Amino acid sequence: MAIITVDGQTFDVQEGHNLLQACLTHKLDLPYFCWHPAMGSVGACRQCAVIQYQDEDDERGRLVMACMTLAVDGTRISIEAGQAKEFRASVIEWLMENHPHDCPVCEEGGECHLQDMTVMTGHTTRRYRGQKRTFRNQYLGPFIGHEMNRCITCFRCVRYYHDYAGGDDLQAFGSRTRMFFGRESDGVLENEFAGNLVEVCPTGVFTDKPFSQTYTRKWDLQSAPSICPGCAVGCNTLPGARYGLLKRVHNRYHSDVNGYFLCDRGRFGSHFVNADARIRRAGVRAEDGVFEEIAIEDASVRLSEVLGQGDVIGIGSPRASLEANFALKSLVGEDNFVAGVADNENRLNELMVSIYRESGAHIPTLTDVEAADAVLVLGEDVLNTAPRVALALRQSVRNLSLEMATNAGIPEWQDAGVRGHAQDALNPLFIASIAPTRIDDIAADTLHGTPDVLAEAGFAIAHQIDSAFVAVELFNDVNNFVDAAVKALSEAKRPLIVSGTGCGSAALMQAAANIAWALKGRGGEAALLLTGQEANSTGVTLLGADLDLGSALRKLSTGDVKNVIVLENDLYRRAPAASVDAALDKADNVIVLDVLETPTIERATMVLPAAAYAESTGTFVNYEGRAQRFYQVFEADGATRPAWRYLTDAAKLAGRNDLRWDHVDEVVRACAGTDNLKGIQDVAPTADYRGRANLRIPRETHRASGRTAMHAHLNVHEPKTTVDEETPFSYSMEGLNGDQPGSLIPYVWSPGWNSNQSIFKFQQEVAGSLQGGEVGVRLLDVSANGTGLQNRFRDPPETDSGSTTADGMRLLPLYSIFGSDELSGFSPPIIERSSGPQLVLNPGEAHQLGLTVGGGVKSPGLGSFEVCVSSEMPRGYAGIVLGMRGSINVLPQDAVELMPDPSLKPKRPLDVIARGH
Amino acid sequence: MSELDLIQTLSHEEIQAIEIEIAHLPDRASAAIDALLIVQEHRGWVSDESLDAIARLLEMSPADLDSIATFYNLIYRKPVGRHVIMVCDSVSCYVMGCDKLCRQMEDKLGVKMGQTTPDDRFTLLPIVCLGACDRAPVMQIDEELIGPVAGDQLDQVLGRFE
Amino acid sequence: MDKPLTERIDACGGLVDMAAFEAAEGYATARRAVTEMTPQEIQEIVKEANLRGRGGAGFPTGVKWGFVPKDEHAGAGHKYLVCNADEMEPGTFKDRYLMEYDPHMLIEGMIIGAFAIQADKAYVFLRGEYHESYRLLNNAIAEAKAKGYLGEGIFGSSFDLELAVHRSAGRYICGEETALLNALEGKRAQPRTKPPFPPASGAWGRPTIVNNVETLCNVPAILQNGAEWFQDLGLGEDAGTKIYGVSGRVNNPGLWELPMGTTIREIIEQHAGGMQDGYELRGILPGGASTEFLIEEHFDLPMEYGTIQAAGSRMGTGTMILMDDSICPVDMSRNLQHFFAQESCGFCTPCREGLPWLEQLLLDIEEGRGQPGDLELLETNASLIGAPGNTFCLHATGAIEPLASALKYFREDFEAHIRDGRCPQAGH
Ligand SMILES: Cc1cc2nc3c(=O)[nH]c(=O)nc-3n(C[C@H](O)[C@H](O)[C@H](O)COP(=O)(O)O)c2cc1C
Ligand code: SF4
Ligand code: FES
């Protein structure tokens, strides 16, 4: 701790922080632009100027940039000194020379950091008489709009996109007063985290393109804390809605999970909530096979009648809330409940939980991932399956740079200094994957092969670290990778192993566990990150299901059980189409509760419209076993209700007394009765929570244009607002947003800070934990002693010699951040950004099979794909990008025949539409 | 771009010259400016195609290289004439009448500063102090320094550059 | 020997080639330094000689060399010596002269400098327009290499030194030593934050010394003749000789190697031959475009660091630009601001946005569109932009020096422009 004096007041500040961090930590209003809490200081904008005094007697002081000055004990500064204020006002005046006066039509208006700083510094009168410079904007793809004239040259965009996120197609061009930030030529921004530019840019240069299309001011957005449904990371989000539409998703700061950044699947995938394919009404299939709308009440009655007919199979879902899954499980009974995951994946999910349970290894948060000093990724293509992890890995490799800088006396936040000094020094990251990944550029070494080959390498690594673990024979080229990884992991202070269920291989996850256990056994630290594939994969696994999907489908197809309830799930993504068909053909009642029209809906006898995540309240459990609550952001249109409510209503009608829950808190309380899930009661306060002055927390800002305005074209009377029984939030601007627990922050705003930069007012210290406590409860924090674990996984896979092309090709699972995920696959910007179904194989084999790159390939029963090649694909194998809409999500075990499909017109990737500037 | 395309875009000579520069440096990307200058020497300017090829040779992205290229005024990202005339407009030459010289050059060539004559013979550019202030006002045509320049010598001087 | 830098050139009447250079005892000092002296000894002599940087800032060279961590503290890897031959300060043309006439002198200076800091790699960072220097330096380097003065085990010692010329691609900011390092690394020439200072972490993150051409050229003679000799060369406080230059309306513009401390008047009148007929001298920028104006009352001052600083300006590069009475101070200020605004790297706000505004105000005033209050606007902006530390590097500080002093010494001219709505000298 250091003590500094700011305008006569003393403050305790963190040793090693700079003065800007110190001032912001104490909630002082000191303007800035180029500094960013996650990216450090460069001293470009000169906005954070303060006066620093040498000692008590120094009355003149010296102007310094707070962001570039170390806060040492005894520092005396002034924010208020005339000289400092004059300089800061001038910085704004200089920036405004060229900044357009377009606030009324600018999307940033009302949440613009530049606007805030302009007001804060008091610059009002224009004295500059020259013309403003203008630029041509670029097409940057379906996610990001570009309006370069608004640029204030703070360099945040390139520093984020290039330096932080590792994108190499956005840069700063030119110099002096004509700096241009964009691509070399028009085209899609390739980086998977481009969307954060929207929040990183302090003005309206980079805008959320889908949001622009149905734009609403920030102050008019109704919002609530939410969790991204896109993958198992569970990033905290702030969806904003108006007029019954989900307008956009912004990052919700979480110091241990997503920090300041989301991936583009999460940000732009949310528009499935507004998709045309949304189910808005209940319906039953009539004689002629066409759906007829029925009232919700009637649907409940029918559902209760089905319940009266004996056994019903209930198929849950890893994309539905824990509450909905729990309600279904309670309704159909333990014996009839299926987790709703493909059988192999379900086993892997269970394996994941058991490894976590028994593992002495630490389950890392993303902050822990960023802190790792040697990493082995074993199999999982995290960029495409748990994207935010990949961004964290990009930070982890920089620890060596930071260490070198620290040794040279350069503070970590002095970003340019660190990079200049350490150049490109990186911590070791080893990536073993089926095909090349988009983070290979930061890898010390990569290994590509079938999951079995990768698993063998993993077993070998564990064995080399500790010979008590089972040994395997290896090929030469694998040996080098293994040796290097062993050395790096053994020497590391904070080694990390990353794996998951994505490769469909238990051996891989076992190998990962062995390595972590081996490292741990040597008395060191080791973190093990295993990820499932969906937002609630861990949740449904912890909830537990006695029946597996294959058996359930068999029970239906044999007629053992006649009725099935499918909760927010497309069975065709979970099992081979033939077995699903056989089951559903035979069933009397196929009752589907879902958000979107999936192929399963086509086979339903009754459909109930389920509320999407942003329209309901519930809990997801992320890869680390962290249960996190998402809240209803807005009231869904029409009949739509949270799925659990249909189930409890029907239960009541059926005379069941055990599901008498009217309220999400009651479901949560009941659910906490499950052994594994005790902690979920503590995830967030119950609906009766009230903040200061006994007020609710408002979903709308106090600046919101009145309710009257929203419906003025229909009626000028102010409509009554819904009273929210379920949550501590109000559906209005009434209430207080400020001192509640971290899990209950519906939007960020603070006086003078209309932009998202206001988040620092909610943090204990800059970039630290939220004042109200961090979000979520980790359900898996069990520390095992970890001894004797070397005997747990002793069966490394036996790799086959590879099949030959003549026998057909074996298939391997690949993923795409844009398309593999079911929900975001319905979001128009994601659809635009994603390619169609693709199959990747070795160029030599493609040639042998008469396939041309970019042409079509088909396989009986699997459909058609675009042909892609990679020389890294093992011979005899083809990778299929799973989960793309209209394509397959479960791979057949056997080899398949591949043949050209000249009729397929592959979806052209988005690319350059114009060149030059 | 394949290896073959690279060779077609850059000549062996260019690639060789660039590799020699790389040999002096700790990594390939450090030769960015040298490489741009070398290619420009051979082709007069750096086209998008050249830029892409150089970027590939240096194992960096075109955006990263263009970011560098557009910073420096001696890298031409647009075509220039056969001869580049740079007229110094910094203070010593200003004192000695470079404004007049610039006007005379513009009149003589029929183009404005920054433009190329329609016959592609000359590109006329302003330049900062050429480090020959004792010879002000000065200009440099291609690699030749010329100064002090009097208005009545211009025809004769330009005549030497076809 | 009282002209250590130019004596050989004078004697040859032109380019000093390898034969001439060696005939005049060239490389003998470097050989002695590398084979017989310790780096520490060399540093001590240069420190004692009080050689100050000739690139503009005047920092004591020996002291700077002393900041390079000794091997045991430097960690593994290269150390670098970089010669700043960017010479883009308007009005400055001395380094070109040295390189075009005596390239071996620079190479010898660099060998000694590199040995003194134990650098195994050295670069000449040469401005792109200096084609002749590029050819001559490369020739000279090849010759020196052939003789074993560069490369592995030079002069038969165990000391390796690789020397290469890096051609720059323009932009004044490249002369600023940290921007230069970025340019050398093949990056955009944005200045770097200090600390870390280059001697601790410079090119490619390694210990690096950046020295001006003239600075390094002085080193062989200092070693050859001793610190005391060098100190005695200067007339006043500062040691050695200086290449002074004059440009503008004088009879004989040019460069002269003269003892440090020669007066401004002597340089202008005796060496530059005085003003041309019909022109009166109104003021000078004593050491390049980024130094404050001096006027008649200062002309008897000796050109040395301390004295010129006390007079409110800077010695800078020691090459002065003369403003005669045919020149409008407002328009000359506009020309200067045009240069600095154009050459801003674009990184920091005051420089990037502030300087073009100043240029614009000056153009308005010059062309008769000046408004009451404009001078105050110029002054406040100038003081906010110009204070060292307000901007990221010293480029903007340098930009403001001539403007602030013009406003002080030629205020009448500015006021007249605004009052009369035109330039009194317009049409002249
Ligand atoms: C904007 C700017 C431009 C500069 N240009 C040059 C230059 O062209 N040549 C030079 O030697 N020094 C230049 N300098 C000074 C260098 O930063 C540095 O001080 C010098 O090269 C150190 O060498 P010395 O100690 O031998 O003088 C410049 C400084 C600034 C701030
Ligand atoms: S585009 Fe935005 S983020 Fe990037 S430099 Fe300009 S103002 Fe800053
Ligand atoms: S270039 Fe250094 S302050 Fe602008």
- What does the pLDDT look like over A856-896, one tens digit per residue? 999 988 999 999 999 999 999 999 999 999 899 999 989 99
Q: Tens of pLDDT along A578-594?
A: 999 999 999 999 999 99
Looking at residue A787, its pLDDT comes to 63
Judge whether C425 lies within some domain.
no
Answer for the pair C362, C399: CB distance below 8 angstroms, yes or no: no
CATH 3.40.30.10 applies to domain B83-159: yes
Quote the DSSP letter at residue A713. T
Q: Are C253 and B101 in contact (CB under 8 A)?
A: no
Poorest-confidence range of A246-260, A695-709, C142-156, C307-321?
A: A695-709
Statement: residue A916 has pLDDT above 50: no
SS (H, E, C) B60-81: CCHHHHHHHHCCCCCCCCCCCC
Residue A359, pLDDT > 80, answer no
Q: Considering only A249-258, A439-448, A684-693, which range has the smallest mean pLDDT?
A: A684-693
Chosen from B47, B51, B70 to mutate, greatest number of chain A CBs within 10 A: B70
Residue A663 has pLDDT above 70, yes or no: yes
CATH number of the domain within which C26 lies: 3.40.50.11540
Q: Provide CATH code, domain A810-914.
A: 2.40.40.20
Examine the domain organization and report whether C79 and C157 are in the same domain: yes
According to DSSP, the residues that pair with C245 across neighbouring strands are C255, C319
Contact flag C346-A178 (C-beta cutoff 8 Å) = yes
- pLDDT score for A915: 33
Which pLDDT value is given to residue A521? 85
Among the partner-chain residues B31, B73, B134, the one whose CB lies closest to the CB of C253 is B134
pLDDT over 90, % of chain B: 90
For the segment A660-684, the average pLDDT, to the nearest whole number, is 94
Distance CA C226, CA C242 (A): 17
User: Do C17 and C65 sit in the same domain of this protein?
Assistant: yes
Supply A884's token pair: 């793309």
- State the complex-level ipTM: 0.95
- For chain C, the residue count is 428
**The three-state (H, E, C) secondary structure of A98-116, written as one string:** HCCCCHHHCCCCCCCHHHH
Are C203 and C134 in the same domain? Answer: yes
| Phi, psi for C366 (deg, rounded to 5) | -60, -40
The predicted model gives A55-76 an average pLDDT of: 95
Pick from C233, C268, C294: which residue ends a domain? Answer: C233
The band of A796, judged by pLDDT with boundaries at 50, 70 and 90, is confident
Residue C428 located in a structural domain = no
Domain ranges of chain B: 3-71, 83-159
CATH number at residue C355: 1.20.1440.230
pLDDT at A913: 40
> B3-71 architecture in CATH?
Orthogonal Bundle (1.10)
pLDDT for A804: 54
Q: C51: CA distance to ligand 1 center in Å?
A: 15
Residue C1 in domain: no
Could A90 and C384 be called an inter-chain contact, meaning their C-beta atoms sit closer than 8 Å? yes
- Last residue of a domain, which of C233, C255, C273? C233
Classify residue C252: in a domain, yes or no: yes
Q: Which positions in chain C touch B25 (Cβ < 8 Å)?
A: 186
* Fold of the domain built from segment(s) A282-340+545-682: Rossmann fold (3.40.50)
Which residues is C294 bridged to in the sheet?
C284
CA neighbor of C212 nearest in space, from C169, C164, C254, C177: C177
**C343 CA distance to ligand 3 middle (Å):** 9
How sure is the predictor about A786, in pLDDT bands with cuts at 50, 70 and 90?
low
Q: Work out the average pLDDT over A716-724.
A: 84
**pLDDT tens digit sequence for A335-358:** 999 999 999 999 999 999 999 988
Number of domains making up chain C:
3
Same-domain status, C35 and C109: yes
Residue C95 inside a domain? The answer is yes
- Which of A32, A35, A46, A407 should one mutate to test binding to chain C, selecting the residue with the greatest count of C CBs within 10 A? A46
pLDDT of residue A707: 72
Check pocket membership of C208 for ligand 3, CB cut-off 6 A.
no
C245 with C216, same domain? Answer: no
Q: Is any atom of ligand 2 closer than 6 Å to the C-beta of A39? A: no
Q: What's the CA-to-centroid distance between C344 and ligand 3, angstroms?
A: 6
Both C253 and C356 in a single domain? no
Q: Verify that C311 and C374 share a domain, yes or no.
A: no
Do C390 and C254 lie in one domain? The reply is: no
Residues of chain A with CATH 3.40.50.740: 282-340+545-682
Q: How far is CA B78 from the centre of its chain?
A: 10
Give the residue on A whose Cα is nearest the Cα of B63. A184
Do C310 and C345 have their domain in common?
no
**pLDDT range class, residue A917, cuts 50, 70, 90:** very low
- The answer on pLDDT for A801 being more than 60 is no
Alpha-carbon distance of A201 to A158, in angstroms, equals 10
Is residue A870 within 8 A of residue A844, CB to CB? The reply is no
Same domain (yes/no): C125, C86: yes
Q: Is residue A117's pLDDT more than 50?
A: yes
Kindly state whether residue C88 falls inside one of the protein's structural domains.
yes
Q: Among the atoms of ligand 1, which is closest to the Cα of residue C177?
A: 17
A848 in Cβ contact with A292 (< 8 Å):
no
**What does the pLDDT profile of chain C (428 residues) look like in tens digits?**
589 999 999 999 999 999 999 999 999 999 999 999 999 999 999 999 999 999 998 999 999 999 999 876 777 889 999 999 999 999 999 999 999 999 999 999 999 999 999 999 999 999 999 999 999 999 999 999 999 999 999 999 999 999 999 999 999 999 999 999 999 999 999 999 999 999 999 999 999 999 999 999 999 999 999 999 999 999 999 999 999 999 999 999 999 999 999 999 999 999 999 999 999 999 999 999 999 999 999 999 999 999 999 999 999 999 999 999 999 999 999 999 999 999 999 999 999 999 999 999 999 999 999 999 999 999 999 999 999 999 999 999 999 999 999 999 999 999 999 999 999 987 54
Q: Which of A98, A107, A260, B120 is nearest to C356 (CA)?
A: A98
Write down which residue in C324, C351, C367 finishes a domain: C324
CATH topology of domain A347-534: Dimethylsulfoxide Reductase; domain 2 (3.40.228)
Long-range contacts, stretch B46-51, CB < 8 angstroms, 24+ apart = B46/B75, B46/B76, B46/B77, B47/B79, B48/A185, B48/A915, B48/A916, B49/B9, B50/B9, B50/B10, B51/A184, B51/B77
Same domain for C311 and C403, yes or no, is no
Predicted pLDDT of residue B3: 53
Q: C136: left (phi > 0), else alpha (psi -120 to 50), else beta? A: alpha
Span A629-655, pLDDT tens digits:
999 999 987 789 999 999 999 999 999
Which pair of tokens denotes residue A1? 């701790």
Q: Span B19-48, mean pLDDT?
A: 96
Q: Is the pTM of this model over 0.90?
A: yes
Task: Provide the pLDDT for residue A602.
Answer: 94
pLDDT in tens, A182-221: 999 999 999 999 999 999 999 999 999 999 999 999 999 9
A81, pLDDT greater than 70: yes
- One-letter identity of residue A609: P
What is the fold of A2-96? Answer: Ubiquitin-like (UB roll) (3.10.20)
Handedness of CA A14, A15, A16, A22 (dihedral sign): positive
Span(s) in chain A for CATH 3.10.20.740: 2-96
Q: Is A571's C-beta closer than 6 angstroms to any atom of ligand 2? A: no
**A608 close to A595: Cβ distance less than 8 angstroms:** no
Query: Which backbone phi and psi does A102 adopt, to 5 degrees?
Result: -115, 25
CA distances from A544 to A329, A338, A547 (A): 9, 8, 9
Residue C139 and residue C249 share a domain: no
Write out the residue range of the structural domain in which residue C272 sits.
241-324
| Pocket flag, ligand 3, residue C391 (CB < 6 Å) | yes
